[in-house]
């Protein structure tokens, strides 16, 4: 008895004996090795490239000799001539087993490859897209056995891909006959399997092998900005990232003013729906152009957003979200046709997946943060705050997760701030104030120099210094507090009390002059008492929400804090803690997750199973409604102080002891122990 040759796959280590002549692709499939193929082994798509290894492999107990694979054949030859195969690579569908062999499956030949992390804080994504491309060979029609072209395509998918239940929308049926004939009865189909379905839907069809790729959009639809990533659905690569302002801003800066607009103006909700749908359609077209692809190759869109945006996007009047009990029209995930939300520039049959909402004030964006940051998998008690116009807050670990939202308003995004602006070149994003001289230095977006570095003026000639963005205002307020320009109650001291002429009187209060560009026609940038109040309101809401979850959990401190949100990456943890935005923690345990909601959207776009996972997670999250919690108001009032009226911040005190100043309404230090004394070293 002869034993069939042994085939060992790396990196999986899967192995088995196969008869001489078995194609490597066949062996891989039988062993469940993750080896890609679009053409099903026809030597057309080249997705099944493998790298044979020769020599002694004591670890595997085999020796691979020359001739362990069949000779390079005509199909490989042609492919190599036309496109070029990397040295040492073979086509898995062409090379057949001739002897014991070790076969490496390189990452790009794996269906479920991992997308390389872009930043340490960004988790890797395992590819498992809901839409994939397959090539099929369809039997030609026969007058004596009449059947529809689509029915023969169904049979081909069953025979060649073991896919049983397939439907096609009219847009595909309309293209099918010419595609089959042009492709000489070979067509590529984009097969989509919704999150909760055993069935597949054909989203598009092309003659022969479609080489244009399949793409998806991950959209983070915020109250203020709409951000999108264009991803390749085969490998998760981001081709382009783009964003634009949410045009609904003209109906109201924050969510509640938009809800009011809908309540006050009959048809107002429809106006807002139209505005946001048009913006998304525009964004889709623009990002496709930026990525250099035909927008009609965008097969899927995943959208995450807060509940009000969710309803306004779907054409649901958000009025119920503006009043107790804050009932969502629907909280579950949704799979829609893209044209249902006016997205008509992408593939006609494109699908849209909306993540589930957690509660009336905690949306699909918070669900996306949970998907990205996985608090439900954490060993340590983790607080995640997604900072935006509305803050989503998650607290939990493996034993359970709590969630709430808090209406911070747009101050953290630079809105409602006198010199505030969005994060764009020329905006102050970093600031330091010398505790002795009270002189500031700063950096603006678009320039790596500090304002007191030589050449700064020249380097920022084009952009100028135009205002302060969200992370800049957080740093400014925290620095003012650390420099003794601001007391714990949030009052700015006057020039006498602070000893600097930059503390300028403005009526009955004072403002701190950061930069005066009036000489060159620019603005005079100050932080006013009103700005401080706006930031205090925002940060109190954020902190109170977090504190409420800590109460529910029965803890006074958390192990880790994760700052998420479109500009979460830009917030300095130390400054956030000085401000009292977040609870006290060691700085090492305060990290930024960047745009975690957007990253969650990208995960759901690239991984179908993640859609089912987040739906399970959301069902298990305990939802807290801040608006009806009696302690919220108390937490809010206490959190108004900087950093806090009652909660101790021992870790913060170790790294940034704060001066015990206190200013009266007039800006002078009212004497006594705290006045002008500074402790910071």
Report the residue number, 74 or 143, with the smaller CB distance to its own copies. Answer: 143
Residue list 346-385, contact with its own copies (CB under 8 A): 357-360
What is the C-alpha separation between 177 and 376, in angstroms, rounded?
A: 49
Site string for its own copies, 588-627 (x = CB under 8 A): -----------------------------------x-x-x
Report the residue number, 327 or 653, with the smaller CB distance to its own copies. Answer: 327
Which one among 84, 266, 325, 681 touches its own copies, defined by CB under 8 A? Answer: 325
Q: How far is the CB of 326 from its own copies (least distance, A)?
A: 6
Interaction of residue 173 with its own copies, rule CB under 8 A:
yes
Interaction of residue 327 with its own copies, rule CB under 8 A:
yes
Q: How far is the CB of 537 from its own copies (least distance, A)?
A: 23
Interaction of residue 329 with its own copies, rule CB under 8 A:
yes
Site string for its own copies, 264-293 (x = CB under 8 A): ------------------------------
Burial of 228-257, coded b for 16+ CB within 10 Å and e otherwise, reads bbbbbbbbbeebbbbbeebebbebbbbbbe
Report the residue number, 140 or 452, with the smaller CB distance to its own copies. Answer: 140
Sign of CA dihedral 554, 560, 564, 567: positive
Interaction of residue 170 with its own copies, rule CB under 8 A:
yes
Q: How far is the CB of 72 from its own copies (least distance, A)?
A: 40
> How distant is the alpha carbon of residue 70 from its chain centre?
46
Which one among 9, 79, 150, 185 touches its own copies, defined by CB under 8 A? Answer: 150
Q: How far apart are the first and last CA of the chain?
A: 84
Which one among 36, 232, 253, 317 touches its own copies, defined by CB under 8 A? Answer: 317
How many Cβ atoms sit within 10 Å of the Cβ of residue 136? 27
Radius of gyration of the chain (CA): 30
Report the residue number, 34 or 625, with the smaller CB distance to its own copies. Answer: 625
Nearest to 350 by CA among 518, 190, 556: 190
Q: Which residues, at least 6 apart from 71, have a Cβ–Cβ distance to it below 8 Å?
A: none
- Bridge partners for 384 per DSSP: 394, 562
What is the C-alpha separation between 364 and 309, in angstroms, rounded?
A: 10
H helix runs in 341-383, sequence order: 364-373
Sign of CA dihedral 166, 172, 176, 182: negative
Report the residue number, 151 or 452, with the smaller CB distance to its own copies. Answer: 151
Q: How far is the CB of 222 from its own copies (least distance, A)?
A: 21
Q: How far is the CB of 238 from its own copies (least distance, A)?
A: 29
Could you tell me the strand order of the sheet in which 440-444 lies? 440-444, 427-433, 467-468
CA angle 138, 139, 144 (to 5 degrees): 150
Which one among 265, 330, 437, 612 touches its own copies, defined by CB under 8 A? Answer: 330
Which one among 54, 57, 72, 326 touches its own copies, defined by CB under 8 A? Answer: 326
Sign of CA dihedral 286, 289, 291, 297: positive
Report the residue number, 340 or 452, with the smaller CB distance to its own copies. Answer: 340
Which one among 110, 248, 331, 405 touches its own copies, defined by CB under 8 A? Answer: 331
Q: How far is the CB of 166 from its own copies (least distance, A)?
A: 11
Structure tokens at 304: 């995450």
Residue list 114-143, contact with its own copies (CB under 8 A): 140-143
Interaction of residue 332 with its own copies, rule CB under 8 A:
yes
Structure tokens at 468: 């302060």
Nearest to 663 by CA among 483, 498, 416: 498
- Report which secondary-structure segment, H or E, holds 641: none
Which one among 336, 513, 569, 587 touches its own copies, defined by CB under 8 A? Answer: 336
Q: How far is the CB of 580 from its own copies (least distance, A)?
A: 28
Residues in the chain: 681
Interaction of residue 522 with its own copies, rule CB under 8 A:
no
What is the C-alpha separation between 204 and 284, in angstroms, rounded?
A: 18
Report the residue number, 208 or 315, with the smaller CB distance to its own copies. Answer: 315
Interaction of residue 111 with its own copies, rule CB under 8 A:
no
Interaction of residue 486 with its own copies, rule CB under 8 A:
no
Question: Which backbone phi and psi does 218 adopt, to 5 degrees?
Answer: -110, 120
Burial of 143-168, coded b for 16+ CB within 10 Å and e otherwise, reads eeeeeebbebbbebbeebbebeebeb
Region binding its own copies by CB under 8 A among candidate stretches 166-174, 243-251, 537-545, 656-664: 166-174
Q: Which residues of the chain form contacts with its own copies (CB under 8 A)? A: 140-144, 146-151, 168-170, 173-174, 176-178, 314-317, 319-320, 324-332, 336, 340, 357-360, 623, 625, 627-628
């Amino acid at each position: 008895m002869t034993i069939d040759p042994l085939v060992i796959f790396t990196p999986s280590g899967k192995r088995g004996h196969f008869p001489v002549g078995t194609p490597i692709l066949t062996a891989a499939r039988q062993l469940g090795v993750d080896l890609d193929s679009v053409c099903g082994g026809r030597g057309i798509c080249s997705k099944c490239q493998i790298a044979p290894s020769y020599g002694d492999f004591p670890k595997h107990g085999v020796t691979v000799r020359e001739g362990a694979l069949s000779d390079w054949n005509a199909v490989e030859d042609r492919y190599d001539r036309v496109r070029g195969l990397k040295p040492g690579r073979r086509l898995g569908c062409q090379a057949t087993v001739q002897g014991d062999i070790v076969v490496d499956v390189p990452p790009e030949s794996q269906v479920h490859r991992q997308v390389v992390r872009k930043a340490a804080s960004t988790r890797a994504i395992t590819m498992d897209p809901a839409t994939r491309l397959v090539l099929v060979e369809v039997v030609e029609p026969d007058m004596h056995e009449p059947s529809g072209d689509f029915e023969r395509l169904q049979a081909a998918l069953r025979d060649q891909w073991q896919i049983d239940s397939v439907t096609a929308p009219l847009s595909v049926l309309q293209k099918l006959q010419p595609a089959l004939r042009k492709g000489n009865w070979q067509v590529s189909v984009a097969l989509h399997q919704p999150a909760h379905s055993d069935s597949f839907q054909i989203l598009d069809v092309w003659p022969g092998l479609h080489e244009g790729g399949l793409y998806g959009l991950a959209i983070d639809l915020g109250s203020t900005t709409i951000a999108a990533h264009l991803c390749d659905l085969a490998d998760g690569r981001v081709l382009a990232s783009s964003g634009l302002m949410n045009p609904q801003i003209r109906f109201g800066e924050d969510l509640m003013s938009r809800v009011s607009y809908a309540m006050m103006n009959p048809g107002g909700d429809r106006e807002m729906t139209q505005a946001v749908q048009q913006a998304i359609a525009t964004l889709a077209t623009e990002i496709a152009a930026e990525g250099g692809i035909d927008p009609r190759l965008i097969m899927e869109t995943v959208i995450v957003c807060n509940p009000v945006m969710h309803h306004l996007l779907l054409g649901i009047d958000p009025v119920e979200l503006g009043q107790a009990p804050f009932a969502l029209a629907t909280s579950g995930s949704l799979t829609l046709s893209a044209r249902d939300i006016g997205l008509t520039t992408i593939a006609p049959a494109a699908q849209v997946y909306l993540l589930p909402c957690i509660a009336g004030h905690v949306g699909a964006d918070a669900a996306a943060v949970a998907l990205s940051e996985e608090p439900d998998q954490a060993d340590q008690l983790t607080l995640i705050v997604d900072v935006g116009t509305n803050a989503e807050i998650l607290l939990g670990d493996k034993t359970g997760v709590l969630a709430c939202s808090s209406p911070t308003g747009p101050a953290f995004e630079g809105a409602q701030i006198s010199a505030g602006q969005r994060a764009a070149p020329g905006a102050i994003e970093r600031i330091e104030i010398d505790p002795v001289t009270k002189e500031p230095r700063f950096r603006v977006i678009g320039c790596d120099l500090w304002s007191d570095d030589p050449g700064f003026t020249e380097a920022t000639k084009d952009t100028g210094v135009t205002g302060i963005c969200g992370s800049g205002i957080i740093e400014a307020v925290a620095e003012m507090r650390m420099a003794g320009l601001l007391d714990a109650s949030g009052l700015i001291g006057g020039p006498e009390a602070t000893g600097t002429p930059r503390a300028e009187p403005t009526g009955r209060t004072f403002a701190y002059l950061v930069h005066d560009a009036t000489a060159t026609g620019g603005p005079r940038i100050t932080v006013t008492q009103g700005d401080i109040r706006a930031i205090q309101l925002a940060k109190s809401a954020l902190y109170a929400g977090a504190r409420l979850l800590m109460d529910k959990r029965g803890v006074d401190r958390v192990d880790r804090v994760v700052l998420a949100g479109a500009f979460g990456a830009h917030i300095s943890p130390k400054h956030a803690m000085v401000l009292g935005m977040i609870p006290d923690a060691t700085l090492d345990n305060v990290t930024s997750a960047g745009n975690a909601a957007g990253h969650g959207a990208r995960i759901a776009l690239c991984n179908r199973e993640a859609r089912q996972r987040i739906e399970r997670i959301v069902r298990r999250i305990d939802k807290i409604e801040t608006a009806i919690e009696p302690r919220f108001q108390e937490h809010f009032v206490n959190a108004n102080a900087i950093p806090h009226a009652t909660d101790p911040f021992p870790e913060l005190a170790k790294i940034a002891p704060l001066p015990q100043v206190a200013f009266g309404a007039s800006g002078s230090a009212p004497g006594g122990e705290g006045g002008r004394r500074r402790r910071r070293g």
